A and B are shown apart, each in its own frame.
Chain A
Amino acid sequence: MKESFAGGIQRIEQKDDRTLFIAWTDGRQQDIDVVALRRVCPCAGCKDEWTHKPLISPASIPETVRPIFIESVGRYALKVGFSDGHSTGIYSFDTLRGLSDTHDA
C-alpha cells in the first residue's frame, strides 16, 4: 500500500493551455498535463473496478480534450468536468500525486 498524503492543496491554477499547476501543502509543486489526466480517469466507466485495468484506450481520447471546470471534492480529491462531456472521475490527492510531473520531464 502506498502511503497516504495527509495534507492538501495550497494553490491550484491553470498554467497554460493544457497544464494544471498544483502547489501541495508539503511544498511539492506539480505540473499535470490535462490530456493525460483525462486518459487516466479513475471512474468505473474508464477503469475496471476489480482489476483496475483501463477500459478506454488512450488513443480514443483526442489531444484536444480540455477541462471545463475543476472542483474540490471534500478534503481529499478533485472532480474534473471535461470538454468531451465526461465528469464522473474523482481524482484523489494520492492519485494526482502519483501522476508524472510534466515540469520535471
Chain B
Amino acid sequence: MNILSEVSQRIFRKPSLVTEDAVRQALRVVIDPDLHKDIVTLGFIKKIAIEGAKVNVVVELTTPACPVKEKLRGECVAAISALVGVQEVQVEMTAAVRKTTRVDHAEKIPTLAGVRNIIAVASGKGGVGKSTTAVNLAYALAAKGARVGILDADIYGPSIPHMTKAPMPTHMDGQAVIPPESGGVKIISVSMFGSADKATTLRGPMVSQIVRSFLQQVAWGELDYLIIDYPPGTGDIQITLSQLAPITGAVIVTTPQDVSLIDVRRAMQMFDTVKIPIIGVIETMSYFICDGCTKKHYIFRSGGGQKLATEHGVPILAEIPMEAIVAATADAGEAIVKAQPDSYAGMAYSYAAGEVARQVAVLTMNDQSGLKGFRLEWRAL
C-alpha cells in the first residue's frame, strides 16, 4: 500500500466526514421523472445509515412496478459516491403503493378499505381484448411484486375465470366472500355468484343491485391494485360501478379501426362525466407478425389508438400485436405475460403494466379531487 492511499484511508475512515445531511443534500439532485420533484422532497428516503466510508440508503418508491427503478437507483449511487469520504454505496429500492383516497371509504364499502388503487379496464364495444388486457395487466403487476386482485364485472360475458382457471370461492369472512386465488392474484367474477347467470335477461335496476351487492360482499384484504374488468359500453352497470367504487383511473382498450374508436369515445365521455381520470389507451390487435419474418403487418388500420389518445390528451400505454399465442394462452387459462413473457404481446403487456403503475402513482401524488367516500349525517338543531 503506498503512502498516499494510506493517508486517504486514514482520513476517510473518520466517520465525521460523511453526514446524514450531506447524503440527503446529495440525493436532492435525483429527480423523479414523473412527479418532477426530487426524491428527498417527495419523502422517498426511508433510511440513511453511515458506517465509516460505507453508506446504506433505502429509497421507497410509490409502486414496485416503477419502470425507472434501476435508473433512479443508479442516479442515487452516483450522487452519493461523489461525496468526499464515501467509498462504498448501497442503495436499496423498496415500494409502498400509496392510497388514492384521502378519506377512508371504509364507511361506505368496508370490504374495499384495504384496497389502495382501483383501476377500471373499459372499452366502447365487446371483442376488443378488454378482458385479456385486464388479466395481463393484473399478472404483469403481480410479477413486479404488487398485490393484485381482479374483479370481473362483465356481467354479460364474464370470462376471467376461464382465462385464469380461478376456482370457485369456498370460504367466507362473516358476510363477505373470500376471493379465490390463481397464480397469486385474487379473482372474483360475477359468474361466481348465483344470481349472475340470470344477468343477460335482467334489466337496469336489478343489474345495478347485483353489482352493488358483489362490490360490498367480497373480502379483498390488502391490495395494491384492484383491476375491474368493466362490461363493454356505457350502460347502467358501468355508471353504478363508477358511482360506488372509488376508482383511481380508467384504462381504455380499443382496436385500431374507426368503428371501435367511435364507441370508445363514448366510453371516455362517460368517465369524464363521472370525473374518473383516464390513465391511458391500450390498443390491441395493432399489427400481426407472422411466423416467417419480423415485419409488422397492419391488418386493420394503424394509429387509431394513438389518434384517440392525442385527441383526448392522454398517453397511449401500449400497442399489443396480434399473436396466436395470446388467445391460446388465454384459453389455456394462463396470462401471456406469465406463459410467454418474451413474446411480442407478453413484452408489450408488461410494458403497459409498468406505464399504468407509473400513471397511477402520478395521479395519486397529484390528486386534487379532495374528499372521497364520505357520508354526512344531518343533525336536528
Listed in ascending order, the chain A residues whose CB lies under 8 Å from chain B are 4, 6-14, 16-17, 24-25, 34, 66-77, 90, 93
* CB pair B372 A72 closer than 8 Å: yes
Majority SS at the chain A contact face: strand
**CB closest chain-B residue, reference A68:** B378
* Contacts A7-B369, A8-B368; A66 near B274 (Cβ below 8 A): no
How many angstroms between the C-alpha atoms of A25 and B380 in the bound complex?
A: 28
* Contacts A66-B378, A70-B376; A9 near B371 (Cβ below 8 A): yes
Q: 19 new A-B pairs (CB below 8 Å) besides A6-B275, A25-B369, A90-B243?
A: A7-B369, A8-B370, A8-B372, A10-B370, A10-B371, A11-B371, A16-B381, A17-B380, A25-B370, A66-B378, A69-B377, A71-B376, A72-B375, A74-B242, A75-B246, A75-B275, A75-B276, A75-B372, A93-B275
Majority SS at the chain B contact face: loop
Decide yes or no whether B373 CB sits under 8 A from chain A.
yes
In the bound complex, residues from chain A placing their C-beta under 8 Å from that of B379 are 14
* CB pair B247 A69 closer than 8 Å: no
How many angstroms between the C-alpha atoms of A7 and B247 in the bound complex?
A: 15
**CB closest chain-A residue, reference B240:** A74
* Contacts A74-B274, A75-B276, A76-B274; A69 near B368 (Cβ below 8 A): no
How many angstroms between the C-alpha atoms of A14 and B374 in the bound complex?
A: 13
In the bound complex, residues from chain A placing their C-beta under 8 Å from that of B369 are 6-8, 25, 75
Decide yes or no whether B108 CB sits under 8 A from chain A.
yes
Decide yes or no whether B2 CB sits under 8 A from chain A.
no
In the bound complex, residues from chain B placing their C-beta under 8 Å from that of A67 are 378
* CB pair B275 A14 closer than 8 Å: no
How many angstroms between the C-alpha atoms of A75 and B277 in the bound complex?
A: 10
How many angstroms between the C-alpha atoms of A23 and B373 in the bound complex?
A: 16
CB distance from A91 to the nearest CB of B (A): 13
Decide yes or no whether B175 CB sits under 8 A from chain A.
no
A and B contact pairs by CB, cutoff 8 A, 16 listed? A7-B368, A8-B368, A9-B371, A10-B370, A66-B380, A68-B378, A71-B375, A72-B108, A72-B375, A74-B242, A74-B243, A74-B244, A74-B275, A74-B276, A75-B246, A90-B243
* CB pair B380 A14 closer than 8 Å: no
Task: Digitize B345-381: 1 where CB-to-A-CB distance is under 8 Å, 0 elsewhere.
Answer: 0000000000000000000000011111111111111
CB distance from A15 to the nearest CB of B (A): 10
How many angstroms between the C-alpha atoms of A11 and B108 in the bound complex?
A: 18
Count chain B CB atoms within 10 A of each CB in A14, A70, A72 and give the residue with the most: A72
CB distance from A12 to the nearest CB of B (A): 6
Decide yes or no whether B5 CB sits under 8 A from chain A.
no
How many angstroms between the C-alpha atoms of A17 and B378 in the bound complex?
A: 9
Decide yes or no whether B273 CB sits under 8 A from chain A.
yes
* CB pair A74 B371 closer than 8 Å: no
In the bound complex, residues from chain B placing their C-beta under 8 Å from that of A4 are 272
User: Which residues of B, 241-258, contact A by the 8 Å Cβ criterion?
Assistant: 242-244, 246-247
CB distance from A41 to the nearest CB of B (A): 16
Task: Digitize B262-284: 1 where CB-to-A-CB distance is under 8 Å, 0 elsewhere.
Answer: 00000000001111100000000
* Contacts A14-B376, A66-B380, A68-B377; A74 near B370 (Cβ below 8 A): no
